[in-house]
Amino acid sequence: MIDGRTELYGIMGNPVAHSLSPAMHNAAFAAMGLNKVYVPFPVTDVATAVAGFRALGVRGVSVTIPHKQTVMPHLDAIDPVAERIGAVNTLVIREGKISGYNTDWLGANLALATELALADRTVLVLGAGGSARAIGFGLIEAGARVILASRTPASGQALAAALGCPWYPLAEAGGLVADVLVNATSVGMGAQRDATPMAAETLGRFSVVMDIVYAPRETRLLREAAVAGCRTVDGLAMLLYQGVAQSELWTGMAPPVELMRAQLLAGLGEK
């Protein structure tokens, strides 16, 4: 029950009403017996929102599109990995001080780790946006070798330079060899639901294929990868594990992972 001692958490973004995070985190808080509640914060003015979090005693916030970079100048401290990534997705607020972290890379690493050890593996990452950036830095943190391929040369080459890895045009990705393929683009969702970033006949060379798209949960890329004999990791796994890492930062406790997974599945209309 919400009372005078309930601690407030939430997610800031624009739009944010569609987020599956409130159901996931509220179920975890309840299962752990914690007097906490997690709500969506639709935010357009980042500076005012952060000041409001301080003033109202909000204890933690997830940060989503389009605020993962613009929130950074308003924080008191930033985790070194998040600093290198150049984006935060988690705020921890203690005694009015706000610290920023990035758990997106942890989510991707933990999701992939369910299928293979990342150290000394070669991973081909498709895309050069914020997700590709977080995933790329996380893979390097885990000891993997990264190859980057993207559609736009300018952003792709800039990210490759930051990661210290080779870059190739997306059109050439089908000829590259790696242990793992990660789709960090939006191909496969929304209007591109029936599209795939890689031709089916090129997928057999990868041991594991991961798609960060989680709606639909099984994208065309993952369906064709499974047919090619690859082990597959869907985008829901990354969403789950980045949320698990957030919960641990906020509570210092290990959250109920399977319950959180069930809440995400329910939010997607699955069991």
* Amino acid code (one letter) for 264: L
Tokens 């959180």 belong to residue: 260
Tell me the CA distances in angstroms from 15 to 8, 42, 43, 44, 67, one per residue in order.
20, 6, 8, 9, 11
Q: Evaluate whether 211 touches 222 at the Cβ level (below 8 Å).
A: yes
The strand order across the sheet containing 145-150 reads 167-169, 145-150, 122-126, 180-183, 208-211, 231-233
Q: 200, 227 in Cβ contact below 8 A?
A: yes
Give the dihedral of Cα atoms 44, 45, 47, 50; nearest 10 deg. -50
- Start-to-end CA distance of the chain, whole Å, equals 27
- Determine whether 68 is an active site residue: yes
Q: How far apart are CA 186 and CA 270, in angstroms?
A: 22
Q: Which of 36, 68, 97, 271 is catalytic?
A: 68
Q: Per the omega criterion (within 30 degrees of 0), is the bond before 66 cis?
A: yes
Q: In this structure, are residues 237 and 104 in contact, taking their beta carbons and an 8 Å threshold?
A: no
Q: Which residues are catalytically annotated?
A: 68
